[in-house]
Structure 1
Amino acid sequence: MTLLPAPPVGGHDLPLASALPLAGDLALHGDRTALVTAEGTLSYRELSERVAETALRLGPRRRLVLLPGANTVGALVVHLAALAAGHPVLLVPGDHPEAVAALTSAYDPDVVIHPEPGDEWRIEERRAASAHTLHPDLALLLSTSGSTGSPKLVRLSYENLQANAESIATYLDIRDTDRAATTLPMHYCYGLSVIHSHLLRGAGVVLTGLSVADACFWDLFRSAGGTALAGVPYTFDLLDRVGFADMELPRLRYVTQAGGRLAPERVAHYATLGRRRGWDLFVMYGQTEATARMAYLPPSLAAEHPTAIGVPVPGGSFRLEPVEETSGGVGELVYTGPNVMLGYARTPDDLALGRTTDALRTGDLARRTEDGLYEIVGRRSRFLKILGLRVDPQQIEALLARHGLDVLCSGDDEHITLAVVRTPGWDERRIRRRVADAFGLPARAVRVHLLSELPRLATGKPDYRAVRALSRPSDPSEQPPIADDGDQGDLRALYARILDRTDVTPDSTFVSLGGDSLSYVEMSLHLERRLGMLPPHWHTTPLRELERRATTPRARGRWRRSVETSVLLRAVAIVCVVGSHVRLFDIRGGAHLLLAVAGFNFARFLLSSPDRRERTRRSARSIARIAVPTMAWTAFALLISDDYDLSNVLLLHNALWPEVMGTGIHLWFVEALVYILLAMTALLAVPAVHRLDRRFPYGLPVVLAGLGMLTRYELVGLPDRAQITDAVTVFWLFALGWAAARSRTVPHRLLVTAAALTAVPGFFPDEPRRELFVMLGFCLLVWFPTLPSVHRVNQVAGLLAGSSLAIYLTHWQVFPLVDDVSEPLALAVSLLFGIGYATCVDRLVRRVSALREGAARQAPRLRLKVRRSVDVS
């Protein structure tokens, strides 16, 4: 992290005695690892030095510092530096420029921190001394309204932050050997408390902005020795989707949940899973107004008491205050403790206030069980009074949840507004009638909106403001972020169609849905047409984020026209292969370059899942997508020509007769690729090798490339390479492409580049142009993920790359028909015919999949008919 300097200012008025100890005492933990990122590690001593340096740059005069939060080293260093030196921090959502602008305008901060490209941060010093009167206890300002930029903020003191971190560290028993991942945003009080409580104890923080739905997150978590995960209810939905229950996480010690109510059956499920896998589940309860946490449920009680929030955190206490129209010991839950906020701020003048709140009225209705545990039974502030009837929205949500519906309920004095995820068998009328009958409401007072997903804040918590806005579409300030239909639904339909999946969700990514190199090109073309241009790393970006970026003008403006280097190389390579065979020009080496690209895409797509069985299934599907069209075309060619025999149809020719150089050797590339993919799939299906790959994602392919070099240089006593199958002699190219995709640092890329530049020369004797072509293509693949382009070039490159296998298969039989007429015509016809064959294969696959799905839907009905007929007989 580089922090761009600001000029020093004179004077000194910082209240050093009130600065935050957990931020100021970092050096006490010495050389222990403080932060782990994808780029490396940072010790506490190094972190302390950066914090001290940044504190000097912030200046000695106490000023209000606005910081856009981000899960990066740079943002965290600025945050800790300001707190250690006594500057109050206004922590805002860094991924929502509108909120940043709104709060900058509302609070006129003295210092604004601006993120720059990379992990650099620029200090904008707006004035030498503060324009505000800042209370000595004021340490941090947090929003309770997500990314809306609302001027209502929570005022937290240094004591609040320190006491809350110590309380959490105590009941979680955080140790200096723990390493917790930042699964939540830093600007969210829950995410921030994870960081503070672990830094307090000298534990490590795995600092990342990756989602738990991203395979790269789990790569980092495992390599860092992660011991702790934190999540809101939505996080647990994602964990289910990525196969968390079957993951090998040997160092995981505890999982925490807060940020909303997790369904009791889900609490019991995860508590039982934790017992079986050796980790604890801590269900927690809190609010920003309590800095973060007010209660926790001891793990030993979670399975038996999944409805409880537990007991107060150390240093805190609860009481129940009577509420009208409640009974059975139910009252409003009131919390007191050293972590209760100073109060709210609505204008800059409120920054001068001291404590205005001694006890926190949570707004939740609760009761205390005979076991001494607290349970939340409703929300006082969410009660609605419609036509004189008092209605609890949480009870409506619970009613519909029992019918299998995902729903959020809000409203006003006139209407109940329901946001409901579309579910077969339930339409607006049926839902409206069910609610109206159950609660004695007129049907006209219940408004139902069927959505493809529920509105949520960036933290994953329900967005009730967006639910209310569904019934007020004329108010532009209250528009919900998710519409019933529209581009996002279109994108989901696009993913479902191209990837042949029925389980596409807003958090799905191309990779998580099993996308491979064959579908990658088609998807990228469609997305570029829909979105205008592609953002970086779109294949690992959730659909929700693609849609958000697509509708943000500033974000769209940052995207420039570019083409994926791997896509361009596939297109260029196949044109060179066909053109050289037609003898229009002589640029050879395309097939060998395609092998390196195949290894590159193997790592990006087929190895993206952290689940071993899912990897195997993806690889098997990809192999089938290569082998079946090849065998079909070869069988057809066998009928119309004498180019091939049965060994070609069965993809065995190169293995049986590698030295035969007749027309049967035409398909060596496809056979070699299939053999390599089969071997790697089988190898990675071995649990021990799978674990090695997850632990050493770069090291494993490097080692395999080294083994491949033994055959490249004929060092293992094998026959001359002309006497053995090409899959053995060219495997090192595939492995180097695999290692290139896993290269995360400059030394990684330098190593694979050096290996390629060493191994390629001499592999093609007396063909320096061929060697140069392969080396140049490989260097582009390693060092330039994308290249500047225009939309038309992207379309052509994508079409050729997506059809490259079909072009390679068919051109041997196509170009001889017209090459006597014109060599350029032979090239054009070969390319067009291959594209046509690829299109036909794709449509046939989709048709078969549709028939299979139809049969699967009919199967239960057929079984029911059979059962009924048996019953009748």
Structure 2
Amino acid sequence: MTTPPDLARVAFATDLARHGDRPAVLTGERALSYRELAERVDDVAARLGTERRLAVLAAANDIDSLVAYLAALTAGHPLLLVPADKPAALDSLVAAYDPDVLLRSGGDGTPVLEERRPGTRHELHPDLALLLSTSGSTGSPKLVRLSHENLASNAEAIAEYLAIGPDDRAATTLPMSYCYGLSVLNSHLLRGAGLVLTDLSVVDPCFWELLRQRRATSFAAVPYTFDLLERVGFEEMDLPHLRYVTQAGGRLAPEKVRHWARTGRRRGWDLFVMYGATEATSRMAYLPPELAEERAGTIGVPIPGGAFRIDPVDGLPDGELVYTGPNVMLGYAERPEDLAAGRTVEELRTGDLARLHPDGLHEVVGRRSRFVKIVGLRVDLGQVERILAELGVTAAAAGSDERLVVAVEGEQDTSLLAKLVAESIGLPRPAVEMHAVGQLPRLGTGKVDYPAVAALGAGRPAAAPPGPRAEGPEDVRRILAEVLDRPDVGDDDTFVSLDGDSLSYVAASVRLEQALGHLPTDWHLTPVRDLAARSARRPRRLVSFLETGIVLRAVAIVLIVMTHVELFTLQTAHVLFAVAGYNFARFQLHGERLPRLRRQLRSLGRIVVPSAAFIAVAHLLTDDYTWANVLLLNGIVGPQHLTSQWHFWFVEMLVYVLLAVTALMALPWADRAERRLPLAFPLALLAVGLVSRYDIVDPGLPKPAPVFWLFALGWAAARARTVLERSLVTLLTLLTVPGYFDSTLREVTVIIGVLLLLWVTALPVPAGLRRVTGWLAAASLYIYLTHWLVYPALVPVSPVLAVVASLAAGVAYWVLADRVLGGLRRAAARTGAPAEETPLAATPGPR
């Protein structure tokens, strides 16, 4: 179809310039006016061309994604939104729909546009504007087809009942690829209001600093968000500009609605409880804030322009809620041919069972689809959850024709709870399966992930009562919570976002691989929800595969100790500098600049504190060390000739390098350069490091051992993605390492280490040695520290015993340090001190 769409309807995208120099987008570091935003949108729209094409946007909460979204709407190109952090979902939808154009954030203010063909192979209906995944189906080929009228009418309705004005500023607490998060953007742009654009979590203090700095007047929340708000002390925060908080994305318990409504009244802001669905372009109803306390269990009234009716359902006392309005979707798409279809849906059958009260307020009392038949009995899954809620247990229920599967949070007597539920609803006890989990599995929207709940019972006989469980997918949150000492692990969290670093990476990786099978190479950047979806059922194997960096750390530290004991000579310490650079790039360069800086400083603290503590003890027990060693300054103040005071040179050099790169990355220009040129940036640092490696400075000037270039080489290895890029780093390794050391074997060892990081993602380890390898790698720093005091006394007895004792002492100090630092962190939490104020926060530990 060639009829052009009616773009005048989406004024929030096509008429941005009318708001002039008012601030449109505000981030932590920049502000963009509506005029400037309009210019960027027009530029990208021109690049997209005038022929309508199907585009896919890998969307993040950043300026590039916002510009790409608005440009596609402005130019009339139907757009499919996919979360930028879900590459598997992107690949799946690209394969299913074969888009003409791919859009993604460039990180420099200019969206990346990848044309897959000059024109289009699709027949696109003129009304089609946007394609969104249905709730909980990211990556599924089933999409919601939304029109320009859908977007415009819903934005107008929301702006009307929230009374959004040009002085309002909304903080983006939800992803723009989620219909709720997108509706915040649309409604505020429509009224010339500001967007405080961020991907920070509400548990991050930087989020609240940004809200105050940018004078945000509102933010959106899903039910799970309010659990997080309780943890961070939101109730008592001073947010003088906050006008209202909206809630949708699932039912918030009435008592919590009342609590937060009272809190808002006391603190000067309103709570808007809302009800919606992707199929209705997000919103269908809202509860006026003045009724939130009195009528907390209702969803309120239809949005302006919308209407409800309740259709009877056979055999049930309550009917199904049906919505009509201009925001009802065109219909679903399940294949590319569906994009040519016009409207196939006139009203939205919500699937919710509802009641209409005399005062005109609607109340949702259950779901038609939340009923299952088990052994011939009709079971209301919502009722199961309410029974447990009355007992003070947070639960999620799923089921099939064979069994009822219930997940309950925390340490619960699952046998007793299963018996109570079975008796309450009349089911045989063997048909009820109860699982205790650290936290209920949730989708990125904060809603309970019911398929994941159902999966807890997959493969179990219906009559088998639950028994002891090995680690499996449901334990991903628990593993990360234990390893990182973080009780707040959520579905959207990743190892990196939870402040994981190279010290905690080993413990987490080994346990997760044991629970889930072989891990993907980017597991540290993969959300918990996606990791939990991996199957844990793997056949027993004689050989396991561990990530190359982990194996190199374990092997290197063992060889270092064996070399010092003089069993043989194979020096591997310099390989670890390349591994350190590799890990720095993987764990310490994600997120916004200031939160990342705090994470880097905490990581430094995890090295400095246990090192200085142990060296202080060594100084007191022996005459070998000085206070310069304790303060990690021997590399600077000397002596310059080799003595026992140089024993800890590796730790000192590592700290110096990490301090230097942390300070560098705190600079805004360096931050921007690294994001824009992820490989060229470490190669430039490599060039700087080679100045010291080749001694291109005054030889009379004191300087530390030139190891920075090896760190930069490892950094570049982590950033090399393509075969060409890896080949370039390989060539640089082969050119720069030879000639530096006085031993050809040592040079070959370093080269092999770097090439393994570049080309091999995992190395085989005997299955029986997997945990031992993990312990050695995680404790490598501690082994290096302690072995200087352990092996000299044992070498005369047995060199092998000296090696074993040195390794065991290091692992023991690792365990001790974890217990002490973890205890300090928990004590600080009990006294109310924020973890971000101490470098001891989130200290990893063995389990």
- Alignment size in residue pairs: 755
Of 807, 819, 822, 2:784 maps to 807
Equivalent-residue separation in structure 1 for 2:577 and 2:278 (angstroms): 58
Tell me the residue number matched to 1:120.
112
Tell me the residue number matched to 1:839.
811
Matches within 5 A, 1:715-794: 736-742=660-666, 744-746=671-673, 767-768=700-701, 770-771=703-704, 773=706, 776=709, 788=758
Of 188, 194, 199, 1:204 maps to 194
Alignment CA distance shift 1:531-1:47 (3 Å): farther
Q: Which moved more, 1:795-804 or 1:41-50?
A: 795-804
Return the offset for 1:493: 6.0
Residue 136 (structure 2) pairs with residue 146 (structure 1):
yes
Equivalent-residue separation in structure 2 for 1:171 and 1:838 (angstroms): 63
Of 123, 141, 150, 1:160 maps to 150
User: Conserved in 2, the CA contact under 8 Å of 1:289 and 1:360?
Assistant: yes
Residue 100 of structure 2 aligns with an amino acid whose one-letter code is: V
Tell me the residue number matched to 1:339.
327
Equivalent-residue separation in structure 2 for 1:194 and 1:128 (angstroms): 31
Tell me the residue number matched to 2:446.
460
Residue aligned with 2:393, SS:
coil
Equivalent-residue separation in structure 2 for 1:79 and 1:87 (angstroms): 10
Equivalent-residue separation in structure 2 for 1:246 and 1:613 (angstroms): 24
Instruction: Name the Cα RMSD after superposition.
Output: 6.4
Alignment CA distance shift 1:125-1:182 (3 Å): farther
Residue aligned with 1:364, SS:
strand
Of 108, 111, 133, 2:100 maps to 111
Equivalent-residue separation in structure 1 for 2:358 and 2:185 (angstroms): 35
Residue aligned with 2:419, SS:
helix
Q: Which moved more, 1:730-739 or 1:336-345?
A: 730-739
Return the offset for 1:293: 0.6
Residue aligned with 2:703, SS:
helix
Residue aligned with 2:282, SS:
coil
Residue 394 of structure 2 aligns with an amino acid whose one-letter code is: D
Tell me the residue number matched to 2:123.
131
Unaligned runs of 5+ in 1: 1-10, 476-482, 553-558, 674-729, 820-824, 854-873
Equivalent-residue separation in structure 2 for 1:92 and 1:587 (angstroms): 44
Tell me the residue number matched to 1:436.
422
Equivalent-residue separation in structure 1 for 2:502 and 2:239 (angstroms): 29
Residue 77 (structure 2) pairs with residue 87 (structure 1):
yes
Equivalent-residue separation in structure 1 for 2:700 and 2:509 (angstroms): 35
Equivalent-residue separation in structure 2 for 1:306 and 1:356 (angstroms): 35
Tell me the residue number matched to 1:48.
38
Residue 287 (structure 2) pairs with residue 260 (structure 1):
no
Equivalent-residue separation in structure 2 for 1:361 and 1:69 (angstroms): 29
Equivalent-residue separation in structure 2 for 1:633 and 1:32 (angstroms): 62
Equivalent-residue separation in structure 1 for 2:296 and 2:19 (angstroms): 37
Equivalent-residue separation in structure 2 for 1:217 and 1:495 (angstroms): 23
Matches within 5 A, 1:572-591: none
Equivalent-residue separation in structure 2 for 1:146 and 1:602 (angstroms): 28
Of 427, 430, 445, 2:414 maps to 427
Return the offset for 1:47: 3.3
Residue 335 of structure 1 aligns with an amino acid whose one-letter code is: Y
Residue 811 of structure 1 aligns with an amino acid whose one-letter code is: W
Return the offset for 1:335: 3.0
Residue 419 of structure 1 aligns with an amino acid whose one-letter code is: V
Return the offset for 1:840: 2.2
Equivalent-residue separation in structure 2 for 1:586 and 1:144 (angstroms): 56
User: Conserved in 1, the CA contact under 8 Å of 2:353 and 2:366?
Assistant: yes
Equivalent-residue separation in structure 2 for 1:618 and 1:269 (angstroms): 38
TM-score by length of 1: 0.66
Equivalent-residue separation in structure 2 for 1:610 and 1:70 (angstroms): 17
Alignment CA distance shift 1:110-1:585 (3 Å): closer
Matches within 5 A, 1:135-534: 136-147=126-137, 152-209=142-199, 211-212=201-202, 226-240=216-230, 244=234, 252-323=242-313, 331-345=319-333, 351=339, 354-369=342-357, 372-384=360-372, 390-411=378-399, 414-415=401-402, 417-421=404-408, 423-428=410-415, 430-443=416-429, 446-448=432-434, 454-467=440-453, 473=459, 486-488=471-473, 495=480, 498-499=483-484, 510=495, 518-519=503-504, 523=508
Residue aligned with 1:45, SS:
helix
Residue 418 of structure 1 aligns with an amino acid whose one-letter code is: V
Residue 245 of structure 2 aligns with an amino acid whose one-letter code is: V
User: Conserved in 1, the CA contact under 8 Å of 2:287 and 2:298?
Assistant: yes
Residue 402 of structure 1 aligns with an amino acid whose one-letter code is: E
Return the offset for 1:292: 0.9
Residue aligned with 1:770, SS:
coil
% identical aligned pairs: 44
1:56-108 Cα offsets, whole Å, 9 max, x none, are 444434455455555454544443233223333344566556655665676x5
Residue aligned with 1:308, SS:
coil
Please tell me whether Structure 1 or Structure 2 has the larger radius of gyration of its CA atoms. Answer: 1
Q: Which moved more, 1:797-806 or 1:416-425?
A: 797-806
1:254-298 Cα offsets, whole Å, 9 max, x none, are 332211111223333433444455543322111122211112223
Residue 328 of structure 2 aligns with an amino acid whose one-letter code is: V
Residue 413 of structure 2 aligns with an amino acid whose one-letter code is: W
Alignment CA distance shift 1:68-1:623 (3 Å): closer
Equivalent-residue separation in structure 2 for 1:541 and 1:257 (angstroms): 27
